[in-house]
Amino acid sequence: MRIRVLVSYKDSVLDPQGQTVRNALLTMDYNFVKNVRQGKVFEIEIEDLSDEKIKQVIPELADKVLANPIIEKFTWEIIE
């Protein structure tokens, strides 16, 4: 099984890297771009686990290791 975890800054936290990417896009005349938030993607290959177990352990490891809950939030999905 493969799990994808997306970590990004909380909305309340400034993201200077995302702003810089946004500015670059605007410089290239992609004027429809309103905002960019940059984050990190983790693809984790795991042994087959029950849905219940996955719902327990993935948020747990994301909270403990992949994200710093003070500044970041995360979402996750089973990709295969």
Q: Distance (Å, rounded) from C-alpha 52 to C-alpha 45?
A: 17
CA proximity to 76, closest of 42, 37, 39: 42
Candidates 1, 57, 71, 79; binder of another protein (CB under 8 A) is: 71
Q: Identify which of residues 28 and 70 has a Cβ nearer to another protein in the complex.
A: 70
CA proximity to 43, closest of 10, 75, 1, 2: 2
Q: Distance (Å, rounded) from C-alpha 66 to C-alpha 7?
A: 7
* Contact status: 65 vs another protein (CB under 8 A): yes
* Contact status: 41 vs another protein (CB under 8 A): no
* Contact status: 12 vs another protein (CB under 8 A): yes
* Contact status: 29 vs another protein (CB under 8 A): no
Chain residues binding another protein by CB under 8 A are 12-14, 16-17, 20, 65-66, 68, 70-71
